A and B are shown apart, each in its own frame.
Chain A
Amino acid sequence: MYLYIYDEFVQEKRHEREVASIENRLTDLGITGKIIRLALFKRADEQIRDEARRGVSTVVVVGNDHTVRKVLDAVVEVGLPLGMIPVGGESAFARMIGVSSGVASCDVLSARVIQQVDVGLLNGKRFVAGLRVLTPEAELFCDGRYRVTLTDRGTMEIHNFTTFDAIEQEEVGNPQDGTLDAVIRTDGRRSFFRRKQSCQTRLPIHTAFLQSKHPIRVLCDGEEMRADQFQIGVEEGTLKVITGRARKF
């Protein structure tokens, strides 16, 4: 049986028609199931665990990237496949796994092609795409062996796929290789004849530690987090996702 998690905003009147056509298509395909509607004080985690005990076979998120983040920990813990029906605009996660928006996503669910992908860990909380470090002076200690620092101006990111806002602009990391990628973009140096050229560092990592003299801010799967230090890790192949043909990995 399928469990559909409707995010709070999906229940707004402006999405009524879109949701109705999706539900009709799911009925045609014979993959209807139980619906849970999220609300202000109604968390998805406990309900997913309860429904998993009752024999649910698949969890489907109806919403956007924030909805995926809300259910990710529970879905990985119960070990059920995760599908997505994007509603209410663009979803980077949907593009990564090759799911179109609206009714077309129902056909991807029905085909049920499942891939196992890695999941990142940031201070014990899971992430699927990647994170951007917003504190430039932060130092990255990789695999307990070496320290990475920026000597020029630049940005530091940790990718499983890539960050949500960069999905269309660059090659996506391999989320099935058991590693994360530390991706650092620096300005490079300007020579007399050549313009300043951006340089990209790419280091595969299994574990890392972010540290700074000041509190560190990171943007992780679209959510801003603050802490004095961040422990980063990876869980190999723990997320099962239902993917479409246009998946980016």
Chain B
Amino acid sequence: MFKREAGASPGGETVIAQGVKVDGEFTSNGNVIIEGEVTGSVVVAGDLHVGPSARIHADVSAQNAMVAGEIGGNMRVADRLELVESSRVMGDIEAQVLSVAAGAMINGRVSMGEKVGGKKVNE
């Protein structure tokens, strides 16, 4: 689901690469890869890949997410959230399934279960 060569930009996917800053309400109907900086809010209807160089200062919602970078904001993931060892999340996490690698950092409240927060992402 999340495997991808660094620096590549496969067709059809939205990519925010290193060296680019996005500021505002960022929304996407497809899959998104973030390697750069984002502030404001991030709403992704598909899968979200946050690369190790990514710096996100925003509330984030997605269907599935894999995080290797830094997120300063609340995360709301409808299905599966994977935090790899280099990830740092400063905010609350809501997810149905959560995978946390050794070394990953979470500073916030974690909620898990069948219906996260009573409703699905993007409703």
Contact = CB atoms under 8 A, between A and B. Distances in A.
Given A147-B22, A152-B19, A189-B53, A203 B14 contact: yes
A202 B11 CA distance: 9
A188 B26 contact: no
B56 interface: no
Given A145-B27, A199-B35, A200-B7, A187 B19 contact: yes
A171 interface: yes
A79 B67 CA distance: 48
Interface in A151-206: 151-154, 171, 184, 186-189, 197-204
Nearest to A171: B11
Contacts of A198: 7
Contacts of B24: 145-147
Contact of B23 (A147, A200, A203): A147
B18 A188 contact: yes
A150 B20 contact: yes
A201 B20 contact: yes
Given A145-B27, A146-B26, A188-B7, A201 B17 contact: yes
Contact of B19 (A145, A171, A188): A188
25 contacts: A145-B24, A146-B22, A147-B22, A147-B24, A149-B20, A149-B21, A151-B36, A152-B20, A171-B11, A186-B17, A188-B7, A188-B17, A189-B18, A189-B19, A199-B17, A199-B35, A199-B36, A200-B7, A200-B8, A201-B17, A201-B20, A201-B36, A202-B13, A202-B15, A203-B14
Q: 10 closest A-B pairs (Cβ-Cβ)?
A: A186-B19, A146-B24, A152-B19, A199-B17, A200-B9, A201-B17, A145-B25, A201-B20, A147-B23, A199-B18
Given A145-B27, A151-B19, 9 more contacts: A146-B22, A147-B22, A153-B19, A184-B19, A188-B17, A189-B19, A197-B7, A199-B18, A201-B15
Interface of A: 145-154, 171, 184, 186-189, 197-204
